[in-house]
Amino acid sequence: MKILKIDGLCKNYPSFRLQDVSFSIDSGTIMGFIGRNGAGKTTTLKAIMNMVHAEKGKIEFFGLDMKEHEHEIKQRVGYAGGIIDYYKKKKISKLLEITARFYDNWDADVCQRYMKLFSLDENKTPSQLSEGMKVKLSLVMALSHRAELLILDEPTSGLDPISRDELLEIFLYLKSKGVSILFSTHITSDLDKCADDISYIRGGRIIYTGSIAGFTGSETLEEVMLRQEKEAFREKLDI
Amino acid sequence: MKNLIYKELRLATPLLTFLFLAFSLMTFIPGYPILCGAFFMSFGIFQAYQLGREDNDILYSVLLPVSKRDVVKGKYLSAVILQLAGFALCALFTLIRMRFMADATVYENNFMMNANLIYLAFVLLIFAAFNHIFIGGFFKSAYAVGKPFVIFVVMNFLIIGIAETLHHLPGMGWMNAQDFSLRHIIIFIGAVLVYSTLTTFSCIISQNRFEKIDL
């Protein structure tokens, strides 16, 4: 079953555009969303979550149209856009208390478990956390309402290697529980460890979407990506 | 919506905004443009928007399981709640001033606007202007607060100027009477209609604008 289906997503900015972005995620799988800086990863994820107004395209979660079922869909999806970048001077406990009220399936025990796992102190404010810990707090918020699909924008950037590895372990654990994950990254080694599929975006266009094996062949993901980006760069130089 | 309003009042509204409701006490000041109280209460709500911007409140709200349209509605409703609380205080103080203090020399010789139903009608008009000009203007970008507030300030003092002038015009002295009359009631009902219509209208426009804003 397709848990997320994006079809023909377009967004125009004066100096950049998303062009006909289409891909889908199966239930219980992990998809890595890769591309170099400025390729359109964050814009795509924000458009999927209706934070960026897409000019064209259809977004369906669980077979439901995002425009018509935004509230219901957000109940079942966890989104973390990197670090916590709001209410940095409020206590984490207050943020969690207020956020919890919005979710039908918010699980205070799960929340406390992740808080402990990530060594987060709820009496602190986000401004007192390091960048890596802010990412973890953002993940706690996304994981505590038993989401069926997690959409995470660069969740591993800013984390130390041990925390990154632990996070990938959590991804695999969640996958075993039937949770699907879409996460953007430019750290390709993260994907080697846990992703089933990838979608590769360059200059606002999807270059490839499908299994990792189908993309890499005998090379590593990093090698293929570097080679392709170099070729694209050389083409630009020729112009 | 209940949760959004809770979030607005508990997280996004600073203590200062609630404290500024005390400017409703300006209703008692003789020889002073008492409508300034409505301006200061609006200024308190403006503070919530300014701090909300620093706190990235819009981003937080949009991440919650609510639609973008509801985020806007929540902002308007919380402003309306604060305004109605301020209005209720103004109404209470107006009643006290009209009923128990009307004979006081300072009020009998008051050259400025008296606290009566016309005053309350103008309080609502100032709040309506705030909702339409400031909150509506804010949702053009969901970020800029300065320009819409300056425009509101100009409009606000225009309204106060009109209110303070009208009762000095020949044949308009009834507007400043310290008792109820049918004309007062009609104007007050008109102001209630303007407030509710303009606020609703502005909310719908803001919802449509906010849908198209990229965060």
Average confidence (pLDDT) over B176-201: 92
Burial class of residue A178 (count of CB atoms within 10 Å of its CB; 0-12, 13-18, 19+): exposed
pLDDT mean across residues, chain A = 87
DSSP three-state, residue A82: coil
Q: What is the pLDDT of residues A180-209, one digit of tens each?
A: 999 898 888 888 888 889 999 988 999 989
CB pairs under 8 A between A and B: 61
Q: Name which of B5, B6, B62, B63 to mutate to probe chain A: the one with the most chain A Cβ atoms within 10 A of its Cβ.
A: B63
Q: Which pLDDT score is estimated for B123?
A: 97
Alpha helices per DSSP H over B55-110: 57-63, 68-100, 105-108
DSSP three-state, residue A109: helix
Average confidence (pLDDT) over B17-44: 94
pLDDT above 90 covers what percent of chain A? 37
Interface contact A71-B213, CB threshold 8 A: no
Q: What is the pLDDT of residues A74-115, one digit of tens each?
A: 999 988 876 778 888 999 999 999 999 999 989 999 999 989
Neighboring chain B residues of A89 at a CB cutoff of 8 Å: 55
Q: Report residue A133's pLDDT band, with 50, 70 and 90 as the boundaries.
A: confident
**Above 90 in pLDDT, residue B16?**
yes
Neighbouring-strand partners of residue B122: none
Q: Report residue B24's pLDDT band, with 50, 70 and 90 as the boundaries.
A: very high
Q: Name which of A55, A66, A86 to mutate to probe chain B: the one with the most chain B Cβ atoms within 10 A of its Cβ.
A: A86
Residue B51 contacts A, CB cutoff 8 Å: no
Please report the residues numbered 37 through 66 in chain A whose beta carbons come closer than 8 angstroms to any beta carbon of chain B.
Answer: 46, 49-53
Residue B15 contacts A, CB cutoff 8 Å: no
**Above 60 in pLDDT, residue B51?**
yes
Name the minimum distance, in Å, from the CA of B64 to any CA of chain A. 7
**Above 90 in pLDDT, residue B149?**
yes
Dihedral angle of Cα B187, B188, B189, B191, to the nearest 10 degrees: 90
Q: Which pLDDT score is estimated for A143?
A: 84
Q: Quickly tell me which residue has 């972005």 as its tokens.
A: A21
Q: Which pLDDT score is estimated for A239?
A: 57
pLDDT above 70 covers what percent of chain B? 100
Candidates B57, B64, B215; nearest CB to A102 = B64
d(CA B204, CA B139): 11
Neighboring chain B residues of A53 at a CB cutoff of 8 Å: 211-214
Q: Which pLDDT score is estimated for A177?
A: 84
CA torsion sign, A124 to A126 to A129 to A135? positive
Interface contact A101-B214, CB threshold 8 A: no
Name the minimum distance, in Å, from the CA of A94 to any CA of chain B. 8
Average confidence (pLDDT) over A56-60: 92
Please state whether B63 falls in left (phi above 0), alpha (psi between -120 and 50) or beta: alpha
Please report the residues numbered 88 through 117 in chain A whose beta carbons come closer than 8 angstroms to any beta carbon of chain B.
Answer: 88-90, 94-95, 98-99, 101-103
Q: What is the ipTM of this complex?
A: 0.80
Neighboring chain A residues of B55 at a CB cutoff of 8 Å: 86-90
Q: Measuring CA to CA, how many Å separate A37 from each of A34, A166, A172, A210, A237?
A: 9, 25, 26, 21, 18
Residue A234 contacts B, CB cutoff 8 Å: no
Average confidence (pLDDT) over B18-31: 94
**Are A78 and A145 in contact, with CB atoms under 8 Å apart?**
yes
pLDDT above 70 covers what percent of chain A? 98
Name the minimum distance, in Å, from the CA of A225 to any CA of chain B. 29
**β-bridge pairing A77-80 and A149-153:** parallel
A102 or A213: which leads in pLDDT: A102
Average confidence (pLDDT) over B158-177: 90
Residue B3 contacts A, CB cutoff 8 Å: yes
- Token duo for residue B41: 């209460």
CATH code for residues A2-82+147-238? 3.40.50.300
User: Counting every residue, how long is chain B?
Assistant: 215
